[in-house]
Chain A
Amino acid sequence: MANAAIVLTNISKSYDKVKAVDDISIAIKPGELFGLIGPDGAGKTTIFRILTTLLLPDTGIANVSGNDVVKNYKEIRKSIGYMPGRFSLYQDLTVHENLTFFATLFGTTIEENYNLIKDIYEQIKPFSNRRAGKLSGGMKQKLALCCALIHKPNVLFLDEPTTGVDVVSRREFWEMLKRLKQQGITILVSTPYMDEAMLCERIALIQKGKILGIDTPQNIINSFPAKLYAAKADNIYNLLKDLRRFNEIETRYPFGEWLHVTLKDANADGERVIYNYAKEQGHKNIEVKIIKPSIEDSFIRLSNPITLQRLETNEPVKQQ
């Protein structure tokens, strides 16, 4: 993609024997809000570090705004904003001092680009003389975002900005991202929370250094290859144990207050099959319905077959 904001082509990176990133290719459009969705150890942070020129890939090519991450690293560093997963501001400087420091470093002033951070900065302004180390988690996150934005970057890298943050602050943060997107900034954001995937324009599901799928969240959901059923009964744990023994069933796993179930036979009347089986096993207040999959269902589905099998039987994990 010639006009892409971020391009990774066959990027790999290993630490000793561990393949952290394994032959990954992604192209992100200018102005896109793109999500890397995956658990700890998926390789998300390694991808961020390669794109922000802090780590050299073993193989492959990567570009940010047309600049090569190896050859033109200086250009990239000037034009991007990066919020690492771990809080990396100066704990002994105040909120205002941190922001001034980052503005000065990039040859600008707080005033020059104030409109970009205004919405976010106003929320922490009452604490502008407080040392960064003394801020709450939510406020640290807002300050870090301001510092990453103060030089008006073209591309913003946010590595797990909402990890460990409660539901209310997470929603606020995504509202901020939507507003930033309207300013035309390309945003690459990572998260281990599957529900946040729906808030991105496109996502890459990633696990153990490999991409499981790249598309819009809606297309990923639409390509779920089976009919998905939700089932429950009074004793949901016993229902799960019983369904594990039922050989007409392909997968079954807990999902909130329901169990999610797929059948081996795509043409079967699953609602009837599951209901009747549960009834035979003596379950009470059984409910079964067809449902639309979520991103988390897709992720589980796309996870490698060995993992899936382990979930099915709850067998011990084996060395890979």
Chain B
Amino acid sequence: MNPLNNNKDVVIHSKDLTKKFGDFYAVDHISFEVKKGEIFGFLGANGAGKTTAMRMLCGLSFPTSGEATVAGFNVYNQQEKIKQNIGYMSQKFSLYENLTPSENITFFAGVYGVPRKEIKERSKLLIEKIGLQNEANTLVASLPLGWKQKLAFSVAIFHNPKIVFLDEPTGGVDPVTRRQFWDMIYEAAASGITIFVTTHYMDEAEYCDRVTIMVDGKIEGLDSPANLKLQFGGDNMDEVFYRLARKAERVES
């Protein structure tokens, strides 16, 4: 919750990070730092360049220019190291629907190299913690969306990554479960995991320590929600976002 102003605590560092597709600047010289344990909100209209930026930070796509390190590893030549040190979940894909919750945990933890013995012990505890004892052997496909998303988050941080990237984790989830989900985020952040999260719910932007707002590939706002409201003159983040994003000239491609 309280980011420290100490360089060794910087877990994401980005300077002029840029991605061009032909003549098109999908991400246009973005610079920011994210600190250990921080909840960092990454907002932008559709097509603003959020996904492209996230793909570079997750080691899935090479930048055109600029520099960035994630968990201390370079996005140009240490992509595999980055992948080992991050967790990722999205609204669209995070679990295998035709595996059970236990099988999903075993599979993903195994992929990330968690020892078998540890997987066995901790996966039982995790299933109990999120209350899926009775569903441990049902296929994920038949779980309600809110439960799936809570399980997916737990799976994404099972290997104790330094950073977890969450791409619209609460889309379509009911208001009560959405709040439980954020409780899990706070808990993870308090334990030192850095949270990098995108959302279309502007009330959730208020839960972040700091928020960036991307417009047309550039960062137009970067500060705590309270300061952004002062800077751009809005009563809430919805208004701040609207004021910045409506200037956007390009549409999603």
A interface, CB within 8 angstroms of B: 38-42, 136-139, 163-169, 171, 192-195, 207, 235, 237, 253-257, 296, 299-300, 303, 307-308, 310-311, 314-319
Q: Does B129 contact A (CB under 8 A)?
A: yes
Q: How far is the CB of A164 from chain B (nearest CB, A)?
A: 6
Query: In the bound complex, what is the Cα–Cα distance between A136 and B253 (angstroms)?
Result: 5
A39-B145 contact, Cβ under 8 Å, with A138-B46, A168-B245: yes
In the complex, are the beta carbons of B176 and A255 less than 8 A apart?
no
In the complex, are the beta carbons of B251 and A303 less than 8 A apart?
no
Q: Does B174 contact A (CB under 8 A)?
A: yes
Known: A169-B45, A237-B186. 9 other contacts (CB 8 A): A41-B145, A138-B46, A168-B242, A171-B242, A192-B171, A300-B175, A307-B174, A310-B180, A319-B135
In the complex, are the beta carbons of A136 and B47 less than 8 A apart?
yes
In the complex, are the beta carbons of A257 and B172 less than 8 A apart?
no
**Which B residues are in CB contact (< 8 Å) with A254?**
179, 182, 207
Q: Closest chain A residue to B205 by CB distance? A: A256
B174's partner among A167, A168, A207, A316 (CB-CB below 8 A) is A207
Q: How large is the interface on B (under 10, 10 to 19, 20 to 34, 35 or more residues)?
A: 35 or more
A169-B46 contact, Cβ under 8 Å, with A235-B1, A308-B176: yes
Q: Scan residues 127-177 of chain B and give those whose CB is less than 8 A from a CB of chain A.
A: 128-132, 134-135, 144-147, 150, 168, 171-177
Q: Closest chain B residue to A38 by CB distance? A: B174
In the complex, are the beta carbons of A40 and B172 less than 8 A apart?
yes
**Which A residues are in CB contact (< 8 Å) with B135?**
319
In the complex, are the beta carbons of B238 and A167 less than 8 A apart?
yes
Q: Scan residues 207-253 of chain B and give those whose CB is less than 8 A from a CB of chain A.
A: 207, 225-226, 236-238, 241-242, 245-246, 248, 251-253
**Which A residues are in CB contact (< 8 Å) with B237?**
256
A255-B203 contact, Cβ under 8 Å, with A167-B241, A195-B238: yes
Q: Does B183 contact A (CB under 8 A)?
A: yes
Q: Does B4 contact A (CB under 8 A)?
A: no
Q: Does B202 contact A (CB under 8 A)?
A: yes
**Which B residues are in CB contact (< 8 Å) with A164?**
46, 168, 171, 200
Query: In the bound complex, what is the Cα–Cα distance between A31 and B129 (angstroms)?
Result: 49
**Residue with the greatest number of chain B CB neighbours at <10 A, chosen from A41, A194, A317:** A317
Q: Does B206 contact A (CB under 8 A)?
A: yes
Q: How far is the CB of B26 from chain A (nearest CB, A)?
A: 13
Name 10 interchain pairs, CB-CB below 8 A, sorted by A. Answer: A40-B173, A164-B168, A166-B44, A167-B238, A167-B241, A256-B237, A296-B175, A303-B174, A307-B174, A314-B183
**Which A residues are in CB contact (< 8 Å) with B248?**
168
In the complex, are the beta carbons of B242 and A318 less than 8 A apart?
no
Q: Closest chain A residue to B185 by CB distance? A: A237
Query: In the bound complex, what is the Cα–Cα distance between A137 and B200 (angstroms)?
Result: 14
Query: In the bound complex, what is the Cα–Cα distance between A81 and B167 (angstroms)?
Result: 33
Query: In the bound complex, what is the Cα–Cα distance between A253 and B177 (angstroms)?
Result: 11
Query: In the bound complex, what is the Cα–Cα distance between A289 and B106 (angstroms)?
Result: 47
Q: How far is the CB of A20 from chain B (nearest CB, A)?
A: 12
**Residue with the greatest number of chain A CB neighbours at <10 A, chosen from B1, B171, B172, B190:** B172
Q: Closest chain A residue to B177 by CB distance? A: A39
